[in-house]
Every structure is written in C-alpha cells, then in structure tokens.
Chain A
Amino acid sequence: SQKIEQNSEALNIQEGKTATLTCNYTNYSPAYLQWYRQDPGRGPVFLLLIRENEKEKRKERLKVTFDTTLKQSLFHITASQPADSATYLCALDRGYSTLTFGKGTMLLVSP
C-alpha cells in the first residue's frame, strides 16, 4: 500500500525565512498530490494541487515541487510569518475514490 512520510518533528524557523516541508512516498506515483493546512482543532484547508506532469506550482508565497523520480514533493513558504504556523498535510491521489494523507508536519514561525 502507499506510504507517505512527512517530517514528524516540528519545523521551527524565524519570521521572514523560507520554510521547506518534505513529503516522500513509496510505491506507485499518484496522478496528483495536494497540500493542506490544518490549524489546531480545525478541518484541513486545501492549499495547492500539483499534477504528475508538473514540476512546480506557485500560489502567492507558496511553492510546491513534484519529483516523480525521487518520489518526493517539497512545499515552500517564502517570507514566512507567524500566521503561517500550522500543521501542513500532504495528500496523494489514489484514484477518484480517495486521498491518502501523510501525518503532517507542524511549522512554527517565530517573530
């Protein structure tokens, strides 16, 4: 079955720096991969989707890369702010029926 690995340890960075979060997966390559943000006690919120034939996707301060050879996606937040502190989830498409989620990486941005 598909396994997804995200850094289990929290990532602590200073405001203004670029945060980089990693999502690694095993087995088959998904048709697309998504990133979500989750605040404590709240439902995940969709951020970005990147398809298997795309190498990079950007949205404002967010950038996602997708390397199907390495079986890895990187999620970058540039000029990070304390308000970016949250848990970020990677999710892989398993076909139309479902997504498989990683356990998430907590990001803490200090002023």
Chain B
Amino acid sequence: EAQVTQNPRYLITVTGKKLTVTCSQNMNHEYMSWYRQDPGLGLRQIYYSMNVEVTDKGDVPEGYKVSRKEKRNFPLILESPSPNQTSLYFCASRGDRGVNTGELFFGEGSRLTVL
C-alpha cells in the first residue's frame, strides 16, 4: 500500500530536549516536505526536499533541521524544542508532476507538545 509513515504520532516533551520525527514514503517520490498546522494559521511549510541531498527552507524553518540521505526518508529534527513548536506536523511526498497529478500524499500527522 502506497503510504507516508510518520513516527511518533504523539509526543509530549520538555523544552530543550532534542527530538526527531521520522518520515518514510514507499512510493519512490523525489519530492518530500514537512508542514505544521496550527489553529487559525493553516498548513505552513517548514522544509522541503527536491531529491536526495537537496533540501530547502519553506515559510517557517526557524528551529528545525532536516536531512535527506535516502530517497525514502526525510526526518524532521528539533534540536532544542520550545513551546511555540507545539503543533500538528505533517510529512508529505510527491512524484514528478509531469507524470501524475502532482498531488501531495500526506502522512497521518505527528502531534507534538512541548512543555
């Protein structure tokens, strides 16, 4: 089954404790992206990756890091989480839009609470 898998789905942590949210896709997609979703603000892009070893900042990259060492994985790293990073996080992937509709496939989300 084609899917984007995120872990953990739920996490409560404390300020300053480094954490990583993993994301894996099994569709051989080149493009992957991280979004955060907050009430009243909608989905905002954090980082994206066009392919292996290629990453770029989205609209709200501060406080986050990413890496793309393999095509299927795109982890989101919070080196020193702060309460304003409490949010619902989504990983998404997309294949070559010349081939398909260019639709984004989203994971189920990771709800992060930073105390």
Contact = CB atoms under 8 A, between A and B. Distances in A.
Interface of A: 32, 34, 36, 41-46, 49, 89, 91, 93, 96-104
Contacts of A45: 106
Contact of A103 (B41, B102, B106): B41
A89 B43 contact: yes
Contacts, number: 56
B74 interface: no
Interface in B4-46: 4, 31, 33, 35, 40-45
A76 B43 CA distance: 22
Given A34-B102, A98-B48, 5 more contacts: A43-B106, A89-B42, A100-B45, A102-B42, A104-B42
Nearest to B30: A96
Interface residues of B, number: 28
Nearest to B38: A103
Nearest to B108: A43
Contacts of A101: 35, 42-44
Give the secondary structure class of B's interface.
strand
A98 B97 CA distance: 12
Contact of B108 (A32, A36, A42, A46): A42
B27 to A, nearest CB: 13
Contacts of A104: 42
B106 A96 contact: no
B56 interface: yes
B57 to A, nearest CB: 10
B103 to A, nearest CB: 4
Nearest to A4: B42
A2 B33 CA distance: 19
Contacts of A43: 4, 90, 92, 106-109
Contacts of B102: 32, 34, 49, 93
- Which of B4, B40, B106 is most buried by chain A, counting CB atoms within 10 A of its CB? B106
Nearest to B6: A43
Contacts of B4: 43
B104 A99 contact: yes
